[in-house]
A and B are shown apart, each in its own frame.
Chain A
Amino acid sequence: MINIQNVTKSYGAFDAVRDVSFTIEQGEILGFLGPNGAGKTTTMKMITCYMPPTRGIITVDGLDVVNDSMNVRKKIGYLPESTPLYEEMGVRDYLNFIADVRKISGQARTSAMDRVIEVCGLKQVINKDINELSKGYRQRVGLAQAIIHDPEILVLDEPTTGLDPNQIIEIRNLIRQLGESKTVIFSTHIMQEVQATSDRVLIIDQGVIAAHGTADELKASMSGQAHIDLVLRNADKSVFIESIKEISSVKLEDVILQKSGDLEISMNVEAGVDIREQLFDLAVAKQWKVLEASPSAFTLEDVFRKLTNEGSNS
């Protein structure tokens, strides 16, 4: 449905996106994951015809975004990151304006309006002014605008940013619901969101694709390691870091001294190695009190942190 081939976008000497290639199949929900400034928004702006790629080709349903821009735009519904809305307009006026520009009129207009009011749950606010709306409702109006012409493709740039937990779940459900019949690409920097909503994940960092696949595939790529979270009382940070080196299979990830004086540690261990006894002996020898020790499976978050941290260190 969407085909991105060797696309680079440069701002002067800076490459915001560097030689990126991927495809999105019809009916798929693609979660676009990456830290801020990774190139998510830039990629989306190129797909939605806001600006052309510096190099490379993007086609949407076989149509080139540069040469066939007007036809591509008709196929896409877009919700930019900041949810831009005309504050001074009423919700109904605003949606009517979008329908005007998209040339939806007559009976089609009436049914399109009814549909988006229903799907986005706008019944209570349809006669209000946009500047009276809460953040959650603004986001829904933004989504309504994006689907009013029943597009085949939805591009949503960080659709849940700034919402409270209940609203986030509502919007996620909405995305999933829309994804049943449409191709959806949405960006986020929240891992659970991708896990909860998307068929496939694409992790982008510093303008290049760091990983690509289903959430399970990405997690599997991290196998061969296990993760342990540990909380110690009466432990000194530097002493701990020094003494843990005795256990060779441990790779420290993070050591945080909490306000209470407890030491919070997260570390990776080679798979198949049981270090519980060694840890216990060490704690006894140093007179540390183990408050918590929990092994855990890898989450997508770990994959993300690993990939994006490695990128910035190299």
Chain B
Amino acid sequence: MNEIIAIYRKEMKTYFNSPIAFIVISSFLVITNWLFFDYGDYPFFAINIADIRGIFDYGAIVLLFIAPAVSMRLISEEKHKDTLELLVTMPITDMQIIVGKYLSTLVIFAIILIGTLVAPISISFVGDLDMGIVISSYIGFFLLGATYLAIGLVASSFTRNQIIAYIIGIVTIAVFFLMNGMASGSGLIATLFENLSVRFHYQNFFRGVLDTRDLLYFFSMIFVSLYISSTALASRKYR
């Protein structure tokens, strides 16, 4: 446990000693809030309904580009600078390294989430927000971000090049996000694709329902991603 915290603290220092954390957090908030309040055919200010779903719809898209930017450096940078060699020869398991790093990205994302609270809080003063739906939506959004970050971590653990990690991250996340639209009809393949798709499970949270199947889906995605990343670290042993 101490080892995980050591890694976590080091990553947080790196994020906040450089402009990375600031850039990532502020760009997400600026773009998402702008899209929500003032963009498209039905901007919030025009439709006049106390509903913050737009935050999560737009947020899911913006996060598709932001989350891999947070996680791309996690392993790639260590590989590129050879610091990974030192890290994996210290008394710490590969999984502890992965979990410590992953935790730091979750905290960055939690800060982003707190930043988005401005919208529901201000709207709750002027209209009637369904708090149940707001809370379940936030849980869904957190799980969505956590899954994106975990996939980004997988991409980072396979290459020493951060740009490649970023692009592979975006593409993989996009595939999982859009999967439910790839096969139509009600056949086995279509059902499979739908159930594997991030968007399919994500949408349920906006109805104010916490379904165990959706929770299980996100938790499995995260667990499998962390497992793959850890295995990728261990692959040095089998070369």
User: Given A51-B239, A84-B83, is A100 in contact with B18 using a C-beta cutoff of 8 Å?
Assistant: no
The reply to whether the CB of A169 lies closer than 8 angstroms to some CB of chain B is: no
Among the stretches A69-77, A159-167, A227-235, A290-298, the one at the interface with B is A69-77
Closest to A94 in B: B10
Residues of B within 8 Å of A48, CB to CB, are: 89
Q: Which one of B13, B82, B92, B236 lies within 8 Å of A101 (CB-CB)?
A: B92
Residues of chain A lying within 8 A (CB to CB) of residue B48: none
Decide: B81 and A93 in contact? CB cutoff 8 A: no
* CB <8 Å contact, B90 and A84: no
Is A133 an interface residue, CB under 8 A from the partner?
Answer: no
Q: How many A-B residue pairs have CB under 8 A?
A: 70
The 8 A CB mask of B10-43 against A (1 = contact, 0 = none) is: 1001100110000000000000000000000000
Residues of B within 8 Å of A87, CB to CB, are: 81
Q: Are B85 and A101 in contact (CB under 8 A)?
A: no
Tell whether A286 is near chain B: CB-to-CB under 8 Å.
no
Pairwise interchain contact B239-A74, C-beta atoms closer than 8 A: no
B78 to chain A: closest residue by CB: A84
Nearest to A47 among chain B residues (CB) is: B89
**Contact between A102 and B14, CB atoms less than 8 A apart:** no
**Does any Cβ of A come within 8 Å of B91's Cβ?**
yes
Which residues on A sit within 8 Å (CB–CB) of B6? 97, 100-101
Supposing A50-B236, A51-B239, A52-B237 touch, asked if A80 and B3 sit within 8 A by C-beta, the answer is no
Shortest Cβ distance from residue A305 to the other chain B in the assembled complex, whole angstroms = 30
State whether the Cβ of B88 lies closer than 8 Å to any Cβ in chain A. yes
Does A32 interact with chain B (Cβ within 8 Å)? no
Query: A residues 31-53 with Cβ under 8 Å of B?
Result: 45, 48-52
Q: Are B14 and A86 in contact, with the CB atoms below 8 A?
A: yes
A133 to chain B, nearest CB (A): 15
Question: Which residue of chain B has its CB nearest to the CB of A76?
Answer: B89
- Cβ–Cβ contact B86 & A78, under 8 A: yes
Total chain B interface residues with beta-carbon distance under 8 A: 27
With both chains docked as a complex, state the minimum distance between the C-beta of A196 and any C-beta of chain B, in angstroms: 26
Task: Return A53 CB to nearest CB of chain B, in Å.
Answer: 10
Q: Does B212 contact A (CB under 8 A)?
A: no
Considering only CB atoms, which chain A residue lies closest to B89 in the complex? A48
Contact assessment for B236 and A51 in the assembled complex, using a CB-CB cutoff below 8 Å: yes
B5 within 8 A of partner (CB): yes
Across the interface, do A73 and B89 meet the contact criterion of CB distance under 8 Å?
yes
Q: Which residues of B contact A11 (CB under 8 A)?
A: 239
Indicate whether A132 reaches chain B with its CB closer than 8 angstroms: no
Nearest CB in chain A to that of B239: its residue: A11
A88 within 8 A of B: yes
CB of A100 within 8 A of CB of B82, answer no
* Residue interface mask A1-28, B partner, CB < 8 A = 1: 0000000000100000000000000000
Proximity bits, A181-203, B CB within 8 Å = 1, else 0: 00000000000000000000000
Q: Which residues from A are CB-within-8-Å of B7?
A: 101
> Are A88 and B18 in touch, CB under 8 angstroms?
yes
Contacts of A101 in B (CB 8 A): 3, 6-7, 87, 90-92
In Å, the complex CA distance between A51 and B89 comes to 9
Q: Which of A62-118 contact B (CB under 8 A)?
A: 70-71, 73-74, 76, 78, 80, 82, 84-89, 93, 97-98, 100-103
* C-alpha gap A85/B81 in the complex (Å): 8
Q: Does A145 contact B (CB under 8 A)?
A: yes
Tell yes or no: B9 within 8 A of A by CB.
yes
Is B122 in contact with chain A by the CB < 8 A criterion? no
Nearest CB on B from A278, distance (A): 56
State how many angstroms separate the Cβ of B33 from the closest Cβ of chain A.
Answer: 30
| Interface presence of B186 (CB below 8 A) | no
In the complex, which of the residues B2, B13, B237 contacts A89, with contact meaning CB atoms closer than 8 Å? B13
Contact A85 B17 (CB under 8 A): no
Query: In the docked arrangement, what's the CA distance between A74 and B6, Å?
Result: 16
A82 contacts B17, CB within 8 Å? Answer: no
Q: Can you name 26 A-B pairs with beta carbons within 8 Å?
A: A45-B85, A50-B85, A50-B236, A51-B239, A70-B91, A70-B93, A71-B91, A73-B89, A73-B91, A76-B89, A82-B82, A84-B82, A84-B85, A86-B83, A88-B18, A89-B10, A89-B13, A93-B13, A100-B2, A100-B5, A100-B6, A100-B9, A100-B10, A101-B92, A102-B90, A145-B86
- Please list the 3 inter-chain residue pairs (A to B) with the smallest Cβ-Cβ separation, ordered nearest first: A100-B6, A84-B82, A84-B83
